[in-house]
Amino acid sequence: MEQFVADTLKDHNLRTTTCRTEVLGTFLNKEVALSHGDLEGALGDQFDRVTIYRTLKTFLEKGIIHKVLDDEGVRYALCKDRCTEHDHHHDHIHFKCTNCGQTNCLENVHIPAVQLPDGYRANELNLLIQGRCPECVA
């Protein structure tokens, strides 16, 4: 995994710094969408808040992570497809469990086509489904 992190950073022409390595590693470990606050919590006092914000911004721009909309603040998740700077192409849904609070990408569940009224030009879709995840349904 450490190798994957190093490669990913190199592939995107980013210097391998401790913060970037740790943040990317955290996304790989947790496998759920993370907020800035989640990262701060996971990484302790290792890094300044601002550095984490900037790391997220950089990863976003490079297409390493994508935003996950939420009714109580933005989260971020790894891009599985190869996205590039300002050209994210995601069509999977995001599921937020209202019980355990976890949000994740359901990469295999695609957003169905939507017929927009005349004149509208669609660019980016974002579908959040809230409910109960399998672990919390029981």
Partner DNA sequence: ATATGATCTGCAACACTGTTGCATGGTAAA
Partner DNA sequence: TTTACCATGCAACAGTGTTGCAGATCATAT
Catalog residues that contact DNA under the rule CB under 7 A.
Answer: 14-20, 35-37, 46-51, 53-55, 57-58, 73-74
Pick one of Zn ion, a copy of itself, Mn ion, none as the site partner of residue 100 (Cβ within 5 to 8 A by kind).
Answer: Zn ion
Which is closer to DNA, CB of 26 or CB of 51?
51
Instruction: Give phi and psi for 4, each to the nearest 5.
Output: -60, -45
Which is closer to Mn ion, CB of 12 or CB of 88?
88
d(CA 133, CA 89) in angstroms, rounded, equals: 25
Report 60-99 residues binding Zn ion (CB under 5 A): 97, 99
Instruction: Give phi and psi for 134, each to the nearest 5.
Output: -50, -40
Query: By Cβ distance, which residue is nearest to Mn ion?
Result: 105
| Tokens coding 34 | 């993370």
Which residue ranges make up the site for Zn ion (CB under 5 A)? 97, 99-100, 133, 136
